[in-house]
Amino acid sequence: MELFFDVVFVFAFTRFSERLVENFTLLNSWTTLVLMLAMWWLWYRTVWTTNRYDPDRPAIQLMVIVTMLGSLLMSVAVPAAALTERGAVFAWVFVTVQVLRQLWLVRLDGKDGYPRLVNIRILFWTAMSAVPWIAGTFARDGTRLAVWTVAVLIDYGGGILDFPTPRLGRAGLRVQPIAEEHLTERCRQLLIIALGEAVLASGIQFSPYGFQRDRTVALLVAFLITVLLWQLYHYRAGALLRAAIASASAPARIGELAAYAHLVMVIGVSLSAVGDTLIITHPSGHTEWTAVAVIFGGPALFLVGRSMLDHAVFSHVSWSRPIGVLLLAALAPAALRLPPVVVAMVAAAVLAAIALSNVVAWRLVPRALAPPHPRAR
């Protein structure tokens, strides 16, 4: 059921990419980010719900199906959402699904003694964020975007602060037991979906042109970047995430940090997919700063999220990640003088160097000095 639920996000990521490709401006980028954060929050709360409840329970499966329908309707509204009348559809569906889910869970008994009062706390914060979400539907342009930004901050702020509620206190989610294998697989599946959407977008964009030489090269470079992003994720930290959560003194806290790391990586992959589309469409000629921003920005943001995952799994960050981010930033001005496909080649070279350095560095560590377990200090 949950994998079925994730299929909707293939469509959602495609819509987000289309939105940025059609109009890559600061305002549109911020709008897209707000919408993407709302979609991810819907996915995130559903994941934690099925992690603490029996996902085979009919009542939980019904909740997942309703959430999937809401996600589909929100995805349909994405290209025109936020600053048009169809934005009201996105906001109303989001609020309705959020509120109904928590009301539904309040009347259910969770496994492992999961307290009903926790859902009341989450419902309190959901109701608070619903106010600016709905208020934004009556505003226009920048005002609506500002109000919805506040709504997203409330949603995420509640989660980061552990849903503190008057008279009830904090939810205590970080000390609750979790199913680490389930959480790991859910995060991994979403990232794979984002990577798959990047490949899908490249193939769709390439198809009308046939096998023109410059666009074929661009397709190969785009595919290489996607493969390198997958390799950087999977090698060591991605493969050891479940063991790291299981061995942590506060598994839920590590799981939460890992989930937010995946959010940053997913945004980076989505931005990189936009860059793939741009280099296939315009492989040669002058490179605009917007193209450099997405071609370099996507991998850079992915490396930031990968650093967060390093910290969650190993309690430290490999220097190759921040060095890669700084190197991409330093090369950005020079990249303006290169054709778009060459800019993508530079990004691929930086990612390849980081991937190679990680493999070599790990193999050179003597067995006696290698950490015996994830999160070893």
pLDDT exceeds cutoff 70 at 369:
no
Nearest partner of 354 among 330, 329, 322, judged by Cα? 322
The conformation of residue 169, written as its DSSP 8-state character, comes to: B
Nearest partner of 313 among 176, 171, 184, 212, judged by Cα? 184
Tokens matching residue 10: 């293939």
| DSSP class per residue in 212-233 | -HHHHHHHHHHHHHHHHHHHHH
Per-residue CA distances from 209 to 21, 202, 205, 218, 346 (Å): 18, 12, 8, 12, 24
Q: How far apart are CA 318 and CA 59, in angstroms?
A: 43
153 by Cβ neighbours in 10 Å (0-12 / 13-18 / 19+) ranks as middle
pLDDT category of residue 215 using cuts at 50, 70 and 90? very high
Instruction: Give me the mean pLDDT over the 271-298 stretch.
Output: 91
The residues near 126 (Cβ < 8 Å, ≥ 6 apart) are 98, 99, 102, 155, 158
> Mean pLDDT score of the chain, rounded to an integer?
87
Strand partners, 169: 165
pLDDT of residue 362: 57
154-211 pLDDT, tens per residue?
999 999 999 999 988 888 887 788 888 888 999 999 899 999 989 998 999 999 887 8
Task: Please answer whether residues 53 and 114 qualify as being in contact, where contact means their C-beta atoms are separated by less than 8 angstroms.
Answer: yes
Instruction: Give me the mean pLDDT over the 327-351 stretch.
Output: 95
pLDDT category of residue 115 using cuts at 50, 70 and 90? confident
Nearest partner of 13 among 190, 148, 227, judged by Cα? 190
pLDDT of residue 353: 94
pLDDT category of residue 306 using cuts at 50, 70 and 90? very high
Radius of gyration of the chain (CA): 21
pLDDT category of residue 114 using cuts at 50, 70 and 90? low
pLDDT category of residue 366 using cuts at 50, 70 and 90? very low
pLDDT exceeds cutoff 70 at 36:
yes
Nearest partner of 273 among 223, 210, 317, 313, judged by Cα? 223
Q: How far apart are CA 127 and CA 108, in angstroms?
A: 19
227-282 pLDDT, tens per residue?
999 999 988 777 788 888 888 888 888 889 999 999 999 999 999 999 999 999 99
Instruction: Give me the mean pLDDT over the 291-310 stretch.
Output: 94
Alpha helices in the chain (DSSP H): 2-22, 26-52, 58-77, 87-106, 116-136, 141-160, 180-206, 213-233, 239-247, 251-281, 289-314, 320-335, 340-364
* Selection from 88-92, 98-102, 172-176, 233-237 with the highest mean pLDDT: 98-102
Instruction: Give me the mean pLDDT over the 324-352 stretch.
Output: 95
pLDDT of residue 365: 44
pLDDT of residue 363: 53
185 by Cβ neighbours in 10 Å (0-12 / 13-18 / 19+) ranks as middle
Strand partners, 165: 169
